[in-house]
Each structure stands twice: as C-alpha cells, then as structure tokens.
Amino acid sequence: MQCGISLIEVMVSLVILALGLLGLAGLHSRSMIMSQSAYYRGIAADLSADLADRIRANRTPYLGSGDDGATALPPDFSRCTQSSSNADQISCNAQDASRQAYLVGSEMSEWNNALRTQLPGASFSLVPANSQSAGFLRYTLTITWVDDRSKASSSADYNSSYTTVIE
C-alpha cells in the first residue's frame, strides 16, 4: 500500500526546493538593483565633496585678507545654475559688487560636466543656507538623477536625490 508514498515525498521536496530557488533568484536580482542605486548614491556623495573642495579652494585667498572692508569677499557659487534648455550648460549671474568672480564659471562648468557624465539625467540645485559667517556662505546642494532601476516599471523616469550642506 505504500508504493507511491516515496514518489509523492520526492515531488513535494522538489516543489519546496524550486520555490526556494525562485526566492533566491528574486533576492539576487533585487540586490543587483540596489547595488546600482548605491553606486549612484556613492558617485553623488563624491561629486558633492568635489564641489565642496572647489568652493573651499576659492575661499582660501580671502581667509587671511583681514577685516578692513576694502577686500572683496569670495565668490557666491549659488549664482551659477544649469541652463533650463540644456542641462549641460551653466549660466552664471553676475556676482554682487562685494564679491569676486574668480574661477566661478570655469569651476562650475567642469563640475557640471563631471556630474552629467557620471550620473544619468543629473541636475543640481545649489542654494545659500540661511547663515553665513564673515561673508563666507553656507550652501545646500541637492543632486538629482534618474534611477529607474529601483522601480518595477521602466516606462517613467524615477528620480533619486542626494542632499548635503557645504560650509
């Protein structure tokens, strides 16, 4: 009477094994998607640190210039924005009379080029924070890029972002 019992046990164990392997395949594909998203977030963190270094490097000549009021303040990097018609172009508004414009346009153009080549569909927003010390501005940088790998549908653009404060 027990002729087919072992065959049923083998089939049940094969079904359980197949379900386990399907779950493992799903876990692997999800980890690959999250790995790509983490890679993009790491690039955004590196690019924000790069911009922070560029801003600090342009502040350095002004740190020891004294408080006599005759020397100009460092440039305001938030005056440079991506062009609305072409994100590869940077447009820099004129600096205030009390600030220098030394290297702002070229630094921001180089940085935007690196941003656009390393992150898909990247854009940025650099706004001055509410506080400043001795004329040295604090900025809030937000980098946004298209990350459609972390969503189920690839038909629409899904944005991820990274925000940091540059002092």
Q: Are 146 and 159 in contact (CB under 8 A)?
A: yes
Q: Are 88 and 94 in contact (CB under 8 A)?
A: no
Tens-place pLDDT, residues 52-104: 998 888 876 666 555 555 566 788 888 888 887 888 888 888 877 777 777 88
* Global confidence as pTM: 0.74
Tens-place pLDDT, residues 117-167: 999 889 999 988 766 555 678 889 999 998 876 554 444 457 888 999 888
